[in-house]
Structure 1
Amino acid sequence: MFDGKLQVYSEIGVLKKVMLHRPGMEIENLTPELMNRLLFDDIPYLRVAQEEHDAFADVFRTCGVEVVYLETLMAEVLQDKATRAIFMDEFIAEAGIVSPYRVAMVKAYYEAFEDAEALVKALMTGIRRERITFGLTHSLADLIETQYPFIIDPMPNLYFTRDPYAVIGNGVSLNKMRTLTRRRETIFAKYIFEHHPAVKQHQVPLWYDREDPYAIEGGDELILSDKVIAIGVSQRTDAAAVDLIAKRIFHAGQPFETILAFDIPKTRAFMHLDTVFTMVDYDTFTIHPEIEGPLTVYSIQRGDHPGEYIIEKEHMELEAILMKYLQLDKVKLIRCGGKPGIDAGREQWNDGSNTLAIAPGEVIVYARNHVTNRLLEAAGIKLHVIQSSELSRGRGGPRCMSMPLYRDQL
């Protein structure tokens, strides 16, 4: 039973609770014509993707990690009828339904789902145009025919639970996603953190709000220690969002003293910081060879007064940055694919450097990244290997597919 407690002060502390989303019928609503709009490069085969995801969840359970599902938590929120009514109005508005006539028809479609979890899955799936027959009205917008196949778009990226929000310390960064197609995803987290009975009792602080003006995504937020946070300024995260998070975290008296803002290339290959850089042990990291640097990093240090900070621009190799701020004598950088070239390019495409630590020196990886996996094992890292022929088609690895809710402190 989810108790609502949140605590994440590292990337590698023993994982106790994690939130996942099992891929659902939203994946079946991907088509070749819509892949670009919905941020996919290929279409996963749902049945096999679910089998692979179930095996992923079983790794956690075998290792003593409590697994909670996004769809289950949201269903528990919607058991309250008053909350459900408010949520439905907001969800339909964010889906772009503006005609009062169509709003009423869509609302009636969703109200037919009496079971709360079935409703949540229907919300995630989207509505195909043939599901609702609109009659004649006096609105031109309602009468104009369109070939677009959906009344409400599906949300196929939801199985990447890392991005819509991130637990940092004992608070939450409720993110504003860069793309419109993913922005609606954060509404589920909003209602879970505001209305779930287990979460409400803990008064969770909010480091970022989905209504804030700048984009930020969870794949760019890494907690390197209880003193140091790394955030990528990337294709999906704005520098101004890092400013806001820094002010709020430093004002709240959290133990964090430094936020490292990594200025990384604004390309899909470097979409998020965690696609090119993850932590697997106290002094060991998986990296894309092209991120070694020299890098431009902005060190944001806590000031003398609440909410104040000092920024220093540095141009250093990744190894030197990590040694300096994590106070390490040396670090191990395990290069995805071993070195720049064919193996690195292929395994980076399949998220070879996007590992998830469930304890220091113990990580979950995709089987297909066999070159990188051999290097990890040679470095003494314990691997839990999962199949990923279908999950990887969404261009995200084990870290992308998981949101740690509670880790033991180191």
Structure 2
Amino acid sequence: MTQLYVGSEVGQLRRVLLHRPERALTHLTPSNCHELLFDDVLAVEAAGEEHDIFSQTLTNQGVEVLHLHDLLVETLAVPEAKTWLLNTQISDYRYGPTFATDLKHYLADMTNDHLATILLGGLAYSELPIKSSSMLPKMHRPLDFVIEPLPNHLFTRDTSCWVYGGVSLNPMMMPARQRETNHLRAIYRWHPIFAGQEFIRYFGDEDRHYDNATIEGGDVLVIGKGAVLIGISERTTPQGVENLAAHLFASGQASQVIAIDLPKHRSCMHLDTVMTHMDIDTFSVYPEIMRQDLDTWQLTPKADGSLNVKQMPNYVKAVESALGLDQLRIITTGGDSYEAEREQWNDANNVLTVKPGVVIGYERNVYTNEKYDKAGIEVLTIPGNELGRGRGGARCMSCPIERDSI
């Protein structure tokens, strides 16, 4: 039995969850892409081919790749899981009791593969062959979505994140992504790889509205040695950080959380878009955003179960102290200030470390990749002309499930 455990950001990566972009991208149009959190529409075939190269690069490095679509199909084969997912995703509150009942009957008759495709990729009213006495279908246009596509599932990093011996099923900030978490809740509960395995569900696994406590995995770096680095971003709130920290401490899985207050703008959607861990002492950083004066706090557990919160001089000192290092090696984004800004926008700082000093990144970021190379970091390059339009790199597109400690 393999262990579900992520002990660091840079130890040998053993198993990872990806999602090949498919039907959801075909539903992206210039008029709806912003609502679905994309800046642009992607060429679907090309994005799929680029993703296959990413997946193959991981396999070549000895990493076992799991695909979200396959896991969802296999989870839907468990009757209890199928019932729960249909009741959760097609609820009376979302559709009204009449239409929800009719829609569930229609979906329940599909093959599991087709159902997974629809749940992930969406369904328009024009594609719905059933008649319902509900008011809802009569009040929509043919191209409106009955089930909205989930193109952001491509970024498996955010929806759930494994931290040491457990997983956080993240309550997402944006309505366009909130349904994603239910797919992961079902997979981790019922899929044969996870069912009956010993792991902790820290946060986000209950049927409730988490209110202001939102968190996304792109902001969570498991830097090792019992420490977790979390960015307070556009999508991750202080309330989310405190809740996750309290659960990490209560389960004894982490000894400290370092929280950095990030600037709230689009180029810095998550911490990992401006900072990733590449080797035990080495981080890639976009200095325009990761300035030394960002407010940084250290959260540690008190004996009575409450949190001890202490402001730190800066994030670099806090990370050095957590990892027991004299000095962090920081590699900044390459090129002049124009090139650096462009490459950061194209995810030059969002690399996925496969093992210490070996990372996967987009080939288009030539200046930054050259800098990594000169610093002794090996970059395995993948094409990202289409994938990069979703504003996410190799780290965003991967959810490690098993990784060694440092």
Query: Normalization by structure 2: what TM-score?
Result: 0.94
Mapped partners of 2:56, 2:323: distance in 1: 33
Higher alpha-carbon deviation: 124-133 or 393-402: 124-133
Query: Structure 2: how far apart are the matches of 1:86 and 1:283?
Result: 44
Aligned residue in 2 for 1:245: 244
Q: How far does the alpha carbon of each residue in 1:292-311 deviate from its partner, in whole angstroms, 9 at most, with x for none? A: 32221011123235x33311
Moved more, 329-338 or 232-241: 329-338
Say if 1:5 and 1:199, in contact at 8 Å, map to a contact too.
no
Give yes or no for contact 2:256–2:298 (8 Å, CA) kept in 1. Answer: yes
Q: What's 2:71 paired with?
A: 73
Aligned residue for 1:393? Answer: 389
CA offsets 1:28-48 (integer angstroms, 9 cap, x no match):
000111011100001111111
What residue in structure 2 maps to residue 217 of structure 1? 216
TM-superposed deviation, 1:359: 0.2
1:46 and 1:373 map into 2 onto residues whose CA distance is: 26
Q: Is the 8 A contact 2:158 2:170 kept in 1?
A: yes
Native 8 Å contact 1:9 1:409 kept in 2: yes
Alignment correspondent of 2:190: 195
Query: 1 CA distance for matches of 2:141 and 2:199?
Result: 44
Aligned to 1:406, the other structure's residue is in SS state strand
- In structure 2, the partner of 1:155 is 150
Residue equivalent to 1:320: 317
Partner of 2:100: 103
In the TM superposition, what is the alpha-carbon distance from 1:24 to its structure 2 partner?
Answer: 0.8
1:226-280, Cα deviation, whole Å (9 max, x unpaired): 22100111100110111111111111122x2210011111111111111111000
Q: Which runs of 5+ in 2 are unaligned?
A: none
Cα separation, 1, equivalents of 2:296 and 2:312 = 5
> Aligned partners of 1:189 and 1:365: how far apart in 2?
26
Q: Does 1:297 align with 2:286?
A: no
- 3-state SS in 2 of match to 1:295: coil
Map 1:7-406; keep pairs closer than 5 Å.
7-93=5-91, 96-100=94-98, 102-114=99-111, 116-133=112-129, 135=131, 137=133, 140-146=135-141, 149-209=144-204, 211=208, 212-213=210-211, 214-254=213-253, 256-290=254-288, 291-305=290-304, 307-316=305-314, 318-338=315-335, 341-406=337-402
CA distance in structure 2 between the aligned counterparts of 1:18 and 1:83, rounded to whole angstroms = 22
C-alpha distance in structure 1 between counterparts of 2:145 and 2:124, whole Å: 4
Query: Any idea what SS the aligned residue of 1:298 has?
Result: strand
Superposition CA RMSD, Å: 1.8
**Structure 1 residues 136 and 338, CA, compared in 2 at 3 Å: closer, same or farther?**
closer
Moved more, 104-113 or 380-389: 104-113
- Give yes or no for contact 2:125–2:137 (8 Å, CA) kept in 1: no
Deviation at 1:66, TM superposition (A): 0.5
Give the total of aligned pairs.
Answer: 401
Letter in 2 for 1:388: G
- Give percent identity, aligned residues only: 35
Amino acid at match of 1:209: G
Q: Give, as a single letter, the amino acid of the residue that structure 1 aligns with 2:188.
A: F
The 3 A distance-change label for structure 1 pair 94 and 169 is farther
- Runs (4+) of structure 1 moved beyond 4 Å? 133-136, 139-142
> Which residues of structure 1 form unaligned runs of 5+?
none
Deviations 1:197-223 (A, max 9, x none): 331222321111154331110001101
Bigger CA drift: 50-59 or 123-132?
A: 123-132
Q: Does structure 1 conserve the Cα–Cα contact (< 8 Å) formed by 2:334 and 2:340? A: yes
**8 A Cα contact 1:27 1:46, kept in partner:** yes
Within 1, Cα distance between the matches of 2:389 and 2:138?
A: 38
TM-score relative to the length of structure 1: 0.93
Contact 1:4–1:202, Cα closer than 8 Å, also in 2: no
